[in-house]
Amino acid sequence: MKRLIKKQVLIPVLALAVLVGASSFKSDFFEIAKQIEIFTTLFKELNMNYVDETNPAELMDSAIKNMLNELDPYTQFLNEQDVESYKINNSGEYSGIGALVRSYENKLVVVEPYQGYAADKAGLKAGDEIIKIGETLVADFDDNAGELLKGANNSSVDVTFLRQGETKTATITREGVEVDAVPFYDMIDDKTGYIVLSRFNRKASKQTQLAMQDLKGRGAEKLVLDLRGNPGGLLSEAINVTNLFVPKGELIVTTKSKVKKFNQEYRTKNKPEDEEIPLVVLIDGKSASASEIVSGGLQDLDRAVIVGARSFGKGLVQRPLKLTYGTQLKVTISRYYTPSGRCIQSLDYWNRDAQGNAVRNTNFKEFTTRNGRKVWDGGGVMPDITIESLKTNSLIDALEENNIIFDFATDYFYDHNFDSVDGFNFSDGDYNAFKTYAQEKNFSYQTKTEKLLEESINGDNILLGGDVQEKYKDLLLAVNKGKITALDTFKKEIQKKLEDEIITRYFYRDGLYKYYLDHDDAILTAKELLSNNSKYAAILK
């Protein structure tokens, strides 16, 4: 009798659930259709009746971008040029001048010419300001002028640029450019190999595997995998790189979404290259996405010791969805979770502060690795061993965002000579020159303390007396003086940024990695750890 009652109760509940689900779907569908109709009508009437001529394409582009700005920065509309760039990033091959450039309103700045490629052969240097491409002034070009540098193999492009205030010209013959996922690998000592994995394009796992095989052939019995500065890339390649170190069938990532088909488990599919070799993985604040899948997965499985600074904290997965006229929508479809079940997403884009900025997660949940070690979610991957010189803060971020470090390195390059990377030395006098340079540039940034003080002054100016307000202003002045002192407080962290930038100017990226082998704090720490078997094993247990 009880069983019958349960059935009688269950049927209406199930029916109600189906009814509610269907009703919810119809409601969402109707709301979407309604809003599309409103927007279509508005867009048509606006373009037909506005007092001046409108540009429908620009209006629509602005509307789409503003709509997506309400979500997260990874959900983006890709026009036809963007789609092509997206393909290039994933394939690691394109045709152009072979240089990283940064776009400004009236110029393009060469950030890094790739060694041996067209821009390098034509004599372009980091810091060169391109003001004209062919007959087109960069300042007059509405779109990203960097697109003008791309073109078919063996085609030429004339560029006019400023270098240290002097106008120069160069003719660059475009060529095929291959962007290696592994730009460098070598032996740290006779038993320790070192591999730099700089991006997760389609070459990532294969190039990492070949580097491992070569290093082991040269005597490597331990390995350091450097993911610092790696912004991520293909999820599949993150799985494949992890698979080089862990057995077939191991769960690496779980994705969870409101769309059922995007809820998936990703496991390793191949026989590992080496599941026993002692391994250290290096990360920093610019190691993101796929880099965090690899480092977080290897940490959760107790397969590697993680060394460096807290990673970026991107726990969101994007997928490109095809639209009409060759465009695409790159949309965040799910969150990903490491083997222990943690999502390392750092910023909450769905709960913003009064200024509209995403709120940083501060309440971390505790998880455990396979061996029972404690790890946490919500704030990126936390290293097992922290390297102080890799940490960042608002001062260092401001120095980089205002190009103070970059511009100082440009001037330094033209004022100093070094014949080899072994002879490079950044002295205390050089650092004092940088401090003077930074103060003369009068760059600005606001600390959290300043922000709170200013809000207090502006918000309570009626209640506060003149004496109290003056005290607040004195505090603000003291904070500003503290910023200058901070250049000394964080000398080690800032000097590393300067050395990285300067060495690359003289000896390219290859020379920087060679310098790292003997001078980099993280590599030296990893080397020492891997030489101490008991300490390495104790961390993982």
CB 169 within 8 A of CB 186: no
Q: Which residue has 């726990």 as its token pair?
A: 315
How far apart (Å, rounded) are the C-alpha atoms in residues 533 and 52? 75
Task: List the Cα angle 510/180/122 in 5-degree steps.
Answer: 65
| Whole-angstrom distance, CA of residue 119 vs CA of residue 97 | 5
User: CA angle, corner 322, sides to 316 and 328, nearest 5?
Assistant: 70
CA 313 to CA 292: how far, in whole Å? 8
The H or E element containing residue 121 is: helix 118-121
Alpha-carbon span 522 to 306, nearest angstrom: 10
Q: Which residues contact 324 (CB under 8 A, 6 or more apart)?
A: none
300 is catalytic: yes
Single out the catalytic residue among 125, 132, 222, 314: 314
54 to 61, 402, 464, 520: CA distances (angstroms): 13, 35, 50, 56
Residue 27 neighbours by CB distance under 10 Å:
10
Q: Of 530, 8, 121, 459, nearest to 540 (Cα)?
A: 530
Q: Which of 128, 300, 384, 520 is catalytic?
A: 300
C-alpha radius of gyration, the chain, whole number = 27
Neighbours of 373 (CB within 10 A): 16
Closest of 135, 169, 173 to residue 151, by C-alpha: 173
Give the integer Cα–Cα distance in Å for 444 and 480. 10
Closest CA to 318 of 300, 332, 307: 332
| Cβ atoms < 10 Å from Cβ of 208 | 25
From CA 477, how far away is CA 470, in angstroms rounded? 10
Active site residue 128: no
* Residue whose token pair is 């940083």: 360
Catalytic residue from among 205, 287, 289, 311: 289
Total Cβ atoms within 10 A of residue 104:
13
Answer for the pair 151, 95: CB distance below 8 angstroms, yes or no.
yes
**Token output for 97:** 């001048």
314 counts as catalytic:
yes
3-state secondary structure of 66: helix
- Let me know: does 381 contact 292? Beta carbons within 8 Å: yes
**Any idea which residue has 């020492």 for tokens?**
528
Question: Torsion angle, CA of 123/125/131/136, rounded to 10 degrees?
Answer: 40
Q: Which residues are catalytic?
A: 289, 300, 314
